[in-house]
A and B are shown apart, each in its own frame.
Chain A
Amino acid sequence: MAEITYVEPSGNAVTVAVPDGWSLMQGATSNGVDGIIGECGGSCACATCHCYVDHDRLADLPAPAENELAMLQTAAAPVRPNSRLACQLKASPALDGLVLTLPETQE
């Protein structure tokens, strides 16, 4: 279980308890968080779950795989060094307290 805070494009922050093993995209979409779509259902095929990770927590995350990096380049909002696809981040106690900021647009 990890408590994840999603900052919606409006600036509204929503905190969700995401079960271990779930992707952070699933934690957001199933709870109706705005600013994240996950159109492909989490198969790393669409880049509509783009998010920005707190810089000081980047080291807690496994490095992105090649397909995530390739997919990220296709995201609608500007891609930054702390950009990730939320479908590729799996909840675990190590991620507790993580804040994800959602971009202005996903498509």
Chain B
Amino acid sequence: MSAPSPQPQAWQAPGDLRTVVVVGAGQAGVQVAESLRSLGFDGQITLLGAEPYGPYHRPPLSKDWLTGAIEAGQLVLRSPEALQRKGIQLRTGAQVVALRPDRRELELADGEVLGYDGLALATGARPRRLSLPGADAPGIAVLRTRDDATAVAEGLDRCVATGRPLVVVGGGFVGLEVAAAARHRGIAVTVLEAQPRLLARALAEPLSDWYAGLHAGHGVELLLGTGVAGFESAGGAATGVRITDGRVLPAGMVLLGVGADPDDALARAAGLDCERGIVVDDCGRTSAPAVVAAGDCTVTRLADGTVRRLESVQNAVEQGKAAAAALLGLERPFTGVPWFWSRQYDVQLQLAGLADRADRWELSGDLNAPSFTLYGFRDAELVCAQSVNAPSDHLEARRTLAGAAPARPGPRRPESPHPAPLPA
């Protein structure tokens, strides 16, 4: 069944906006609340977080948090006091169980009903699990929340104590960042990836190969093109991963890094248009009047009718701004250039634009040098740039992609060697 696309002309901003409830106290939810204030809204804002913690930064959870480089306080995105000063009422441990958009109210797990004039959904995403034998055993971890990260850190402690390896299922960003953190702690690491290359969805092939070399160089065992058949556990802890050729890889801990799905359960149950994510337009407006959504829980309807999903801090922030404006009856669409970053070992990767649009790649610099950039083109048009330790390239590409009227399409980097063509 295909749901109708959201129709901005049918969407109505609340006429008399006095009370806004934001469901989800992550990056996107905080942004909606703060942008409402900076746009001059002086009514009541309630920010509901299901977790016991106030808003925190998620990106460090798979990086500095696991190596012990930062302490809990440094994860804080906004302190409760800072929110209070802005007149944002934060409620932690507040689990929403039902939305009733027709009555402009929602219900919490303890039965409390909250009314609103405007509602913002920022419910985030849920990490995928695998439906395989033994996949629910204790000691098979995912990494999304602060509690997840604490469990992963404890699992790494066990690996150190027992000398057993970490097995990461999935060669995506989260899995590889955790692999890097574990190597930092001297833990043996095996990464299983079903695809023939790492980060296949996000990166140009030469860069996937480069990352394979980076991890292998740091002592990670990579098993590419390798499927998982099941998990072994004993005494309440995962002890191994069975792969499709029948071998069992011993593990002190198993991390599933196989992606995350938008958490659209509440919205779907309330009848909002969802397609594996809450469908919004580029202003964050959902199919229900006075309801907006932002961040990882959303997919954006494009002009051609398809939906696009972005999972990034940038998307959470920019959609949050757009959604807050929409509640106030303003059109501030998020149409910026997508960007993303990942840090593994001492390597900073920055991505600008969308790799899946590229049909041809050019290298600027040298894959054997400490920094370089791969530019992706569709016909003659630059559509993305993937930079390793090259922030200037990254920012210049973002400007070009944003349509800053370049004299000619594509990168210019006179100080570097001529771009070498790469196989498509």
Shortest CB distance B342–A (Å): 9
In chain B, residues 303-352, which have Cβ atoms closer than 8 Å to a Cβ of chain A?
313-314, 317, 341, 343, 348, 350
**Restricting to A19-41, which residues have a CB under 8 Å from any CB of B?**
19, 21-23, 26, 29-32, 37, 39-41
Chain A, Cβ-Cβ closest to B34 = A32
Cβ-closest chain A residue relative to B55: A30
Assuming the A-B contacts A41-B57, A74-B395, are A30 and B73 also in contact, with contact meaning beta carbons closer than 8 angstroms in the complex?
A: yes
Asked if B348 and A45 sit within 8 Å, CB to CB, the answer is: yes
Contacts of B83 in A (CB 8 A): 32
Given A39-B313, A39-B317, A67-B389, decide whether A29 and B77 contact each other with a Cβ distance below 8 A: yes
Chain A 11-25 near chain B by CB (<8 Å), digits 1 or 0: 000000001011100
Q: Which residues of B contact A29 (CB under 8 A)?
A: 77-78
Known: A29-B77, A32-B78, A67-B348. A40 touches B85 (CB 8 A): no
- Which of chain A's residues have a CB closer than 8 A to the CB of B59? 40-41, 43
Cα distance A37–B343 in the bound complex, in angstroms: 19
Closest residue to B59 on the A side, CB-wise? A41
In the bound complex, do residue A30 and residue B82 qualify as a contact, i.e. CB atoms below 8 Å apart? yes
Any B CB within 8 A of the CB of A82: no
Bound CA–CA A19/B74 (angstroms)? 10
CB of B64 to closest CB in A, whole Å:
8
B82 touches A67 (CB 8 A): no
Do A45 and B350 touch across chains, with their CB atoms under 8 A apart? yes
Chain B proximity of A36: nearest CB distance (Å): 12
Interface CB pairs A-B, < 8 A, 24: A19-B73, A21-B71, A22-B73, A23-B74, A26-B74, A29-B77, A30-B76, A30-B78, A30-B82, A32-B85, A39-B313, A41-B59, A41-B60, A43-B59, A43-B63, A43-B343, A44-B348, A45-B343, A45-B350, A47-B395, A67-B389, A70-B392, A73-B392, A73-B395
Known: A30-B77, A43-B63, A67-B391. 5 other contacts (CB 8 A): A26-B76, A40-B59, A44-B391, A70-B390, A74-B395
Q: Which 9 residue pairs spanning A and B have beta carbons closest together?
A: A32-B82, A74-B395, A30-B76, A45-B341, A41-B59, A71-B391, A41-B57, A70-B391, A31-B82
